[in-house]
Amino acid sequence: MLSPRALFLLALLTLCWGINWPMMKFSLRELSPLYFRATAMSAGALGLLAWYSVKGVAMKLPRASWWPVLLLAAPNIFGWHLFSILGVQELASGRAAILGFTMPIWTVVLGALWFGQPLTRRAALAVACASAAVALLVGHEITAIAGRPVGILWMQVAAVCWALGTLLIRRSKLTLPTEALTVWMMLISSVAFWALALALEPWPTWQFSRPMVWSLLWAAFINYGAAQVIWVGMARKLPPAASTFAIMAVPLVGIGAAALLVGEVPRLLDYVAAAFVVVAIAVSVGWGKRT
């Protein structure tokens, strides 16, 4: 049974992540994707580093921990945030959220393939439901006049990265505080984003509208601040089923927020695909299973 504090954090995380999808789409109107990630992530990481240092959290990264933290950062932060922003650039933000949150199903698949976890009938059914959601959206993107199926590919690569990162975190033997692990993974990844942005994208003008400034602040201090710490803490401390339940409602929140914030009108197909994903996650963690 989760404590009231844990339930509150799960609800808060769901809301933050759901709203973040259309906020990303909005930000890409004025800033290229790699510079957006580099700017928001580095600002969020430095802000957290300063805050936790003042609070007295041990933030030093021992030399022996550099390699393990780098390995965790590569899929968990860099891979997920790189491919998800490329996916959002190509797709409607609500649709991207649906595809990104197939992560728990990929966690089941990768756990079975690489970590020896049993692939039960329940897990197979969850994978089938998630596959149906992806197939529906792929079919629509291919047949639509302005369809962009490559965005679906980016989102699935992002989901695989996140799933792998989550499995690795659960098996990590690092003794770093959650706050330090989160900040250092973000700092390492932000350096990689700056390097990629400088190499692949033109230098921005850095002249933004007021709504864009607020969007960057949201990305830095909500998405790369509070939400990251909550998620990493759940991934390390809560049972896998509990942390997975946290993200079940995110695609639906993302669809609703997209309609309000960026004027995207979801199709019936999007709701059907979101329902498949929610059912898949519920099945994969044993929702309704009798004990």
Q: Could you tell me the pLDDT band of residue 33, with boundaries at 50, 70 and 90? A: very high
264-267, long-range: CB < 8 A, 24+ apart: 264/22, 264/25, 264/92, 264/93, 264/94, 266/92, 266/94, 267/140
pTM: 0.83
- At 70 the pLDDT is 96
Say whether pLDDT at 132 is over 90.
no
Say whether pLDDT at 217 is over 90.
yes
pLDDT, mean over the chain: 83
**Least confident span in 95-104, 152-161, 243-252:** 243-252
Retrieve residue 263's tokens. 């004027």
Q: Could you tell me the pLDDT band of residue 134, with boundaries at 50, 70 and 90? A: confident
Instruction: Report how many helices (DSSP H) and strands (DSSP E) the chain contains, helices first.
Output: 14, 0
Mean of pLDDT values over 70-82: 96
- At 291 the pLDDT is 36
Q: Report which of 135, 186, 129, 185 is spatially closest to residue 156, judged by C-alpha positions.
A: 135
- At 219 the pLDDT is 93
pLDDT tens-place string over residues 97-125: 888 878 877 887 888 888 777 767 776 77
The answer to whether 97 and 271 have CB atoms below 8 angstroms apart is no
**Least confident span in 16-30, 203-217, 226-240:** 226-240
Identify the residue with better confidence: 250 or 223: 223
Say whether pLDDT at 20 is over 80.
yes
pLDDT tens-place string over residues 44-65: 999 999 988 998 989 999 999 9
- At 285 the pLDDT is 56
Q: Report which of 96, 73, 78 is spatially closest to residue 20, judged by C-alpha positions.
A: 96
Q: Report which of 226, 244, 249, 236 is spatially closest to residue 283, judged by C-alpha positions.
A: 244
CA distance 57 to 176: 10
Determine the 3-state secondary structure of 147 from DSSP.
coil
- At 290 the pLDDT is 40
Rg (CA), the chain: 18
